Chain A
Amino acid sequence: MSDQQSDRQTVDQLDAGIQALLLEKDTGLLPSNPAVAELLAVAVELRTLPRASFKADLQAALLGETPSNAYSAAATGTHGLSQQALSHRGLPQRIADPARVASLSSDLLPTVAVPEHSLYPVQRSSFMTSLAAHALILALLITSGIWAAPSFHEKTRVSSSVVLDIGSYVLPPATDRAGGGGGGGDSDVLQASKGSPPRFAREQITPPAIVVRNEDPKLEVEPTVVGPPALSFPQTSQMGDPFAHITGPPSNGAGTNGGIGSGAQGGVGMGNGPGVGDGWGGGIGRGLYRAGGGVSAPRPIYDPEPDYSEEARKAKYQGSVVLQIVVGADGLPKDMRIARSLGMGLDEKALEAVRQWRFEPGTLNGHAVPVVVNVEVNFRLY
């Protein structure tokens, strides 16, 4: 065999060995030619010969990084590698795609979702344990305001008081009826006799009288009762108290300060004022009194305080509720209504409490009479 033929065989054997090496085929046979075996040993190391562009690419990737995108590159595991390198890593095409890689960097927990992308190997069990522990700590921190702080309920203070209406009496507006009342008399031993009251006028100069004591007045003035002039009573021939039960003998009644009836202040009836009927101040009344002018105010003798509503306590809501109630002659609250509302359940709490109150009733001339009073309930937090 000539040297030329021998060299050609060596070259062919070497190329066959390199071809098998590159295709990663393990023939299991060592080349018989020692020269080829030596050269193949060199060729084996050349399989990892670095690409010229790799060093430059990696340097660019490293120095182009900022602290923020350093993580991104590390998390996605791309490290500036080429598409070819990525595909050689056996990553799915959707991940190897550069656009996909860029979007993955913003995905939630890429190191867990794609283990190949992690800078460090992530053990999912450890990661989930850590995540759960952090979540628990975070939850404890968030709720610590509830369970760590001493149990604290705002102290509530509720006070209630009966408020007397001391303003001047004003007739409530009405088209056919006016509140109030009046009464009078001249301390006669007989009850006032039944009859009709005189006409209503804005002011009263002369109180009415059935039995005229002054037969010869120097200036005669028509007797009137105070009230809207439009008000009228069914007229009879006899002047008297329309609420009286007897028709005679004529009497101005047992009241005082002029007028007719058992009341006072120049009116007609059992009231207290220049009007007609039960009541106070004028007009026609038959029922309720207001404190003052001889009518004593009801006095609470049992007044449990209302509770604070939970809703208002949580909202730290405070204020006053005013209830208008009628304290009956029996000392029980009746006809309750809310004169000033507060809301948040406090109105109901006030009504619920005041309904249980018991009063010493107001009196007129020593007799218990129903009296309208306001009850102010103050709800305060401190």
Chain B
Amino acid sequence: MKLENAVDEQLQIAAAQRDPAEFAELYENNFARIYAFIARRVPSRQDAEDLTGEVFHEALRTLARFEWQGAPFAAWLLGIASHRLAERWRRAGKRPEVAENDWDETGVDARTEENLILFQLVDELPPDQRLVICRRFIDQKSLKEIAQELQRSEGAIKQLQFRALQNLRSRMRSRYV
């Protein structure tokens, strides 16, 4: 984290501690990473959304107790997320599969970064491909339903889905090569 970014974040935290309405900027800057971190470790989107909501609610509730110690705000949020995940696994009677500190000092871990980039790349797809991906994976619609909505053939939708995934794979590769 660059020094000026750290200073900005410190100021944002101080502002949010004075006025919770100022939490919006911290939320905007950290939402994607926290969601991606959780999404890699839970089986469904609903679980990911629930836990993400809980993390940010707890963060907002306990923000007054946060003390800046030089680490990024994301690291603190990831700590809360990690506890939440561990609790969830413990309640489910399963062995926690999340190590509490599997991220580096900047709040980044490799698996989370992959998810984070993948979700960002979906937004960069051509509109028709992005729409098909969203309908298929978020709304869980069948090819037939998507075809009816877009007034195209099932084969065309199948092709759009294929090309979208190819696009995502190639763009992911380009990020890491």
Interface residues of A (CB under 8 A from B): 10-12, 14-15, 18, 22, 38-39, 42-43, 45-52, 54-55, 58-59, 61-63, 65, 70, 73-74, 77, 79-81, 85, 88-89, 119-121
The 7 closest A-B pairs by CB, nearest first: A79-B53, A48-B39, A88-B46, A39-B165, A46-B137, A11-B162, A48-B45
CB distance from B110 to the nearest CB of A (A): 13
A85 to B42 CA separation, bound complex (whole angstroms): 15
Q: Is the pair A38, B169 in contact by a Cβ cutoff of 8 Å? A: yes
Q: Which of B5-13, B68-76, B93-101, B112-120 lies at the binding interface?
A: B112-120
Tell me whether B58 is interfacial, beta carbon within 8 Å.
yes
Residues of B within 8 A of A50 (CB): 35, 39, 45, 48-49, 119
**Which chain B positions have C-beta within 8 A of A74?**
54, 57-58, 61
> SS class of chain A's interface: helix, strand, loop or mixed?
helix
A49 and B50 form a contact (CB under 8 A): no
Q: Are A22 and B161 in contact (CB under 8 A)?
A: no
B150 on the A face (CB < 8 A): no
Interface size on B, residues (CB 8 A): 49
Given A50-B35, A55-B31, A59-B24, decide whether A39 and B162 contact each other with a Cβ distance below 8 A: yes
Which A residues are in CB contact (< 8 Å) with B60?
62, 65, 70
A63 B158 Cβ-Cβ under 8 A: no
Give the CA-CA distance A120 to B58 in the complex, in Å. Answer: 10
List residues of chain B with CB within 8 A of the CB of A54: 49, 52
Given known pairs A14-B161, A51-B138, A119-B57, the reply for A42 and B133 (CB within 8 Å) is no
Residue of A nearest to B139 (CB): A51
User: For residue B24, which residues in chain A have a CB less than 8 angstroms away from its CB?
Assistant: 59, 62-63
Report if B143 contacts A (CB, 8 A): yes
Q: Which of B28, B40, B57, B161 has the most CB of A within 10 A?
A: B57
Partner of A51, one of B45, B118, B166: B45
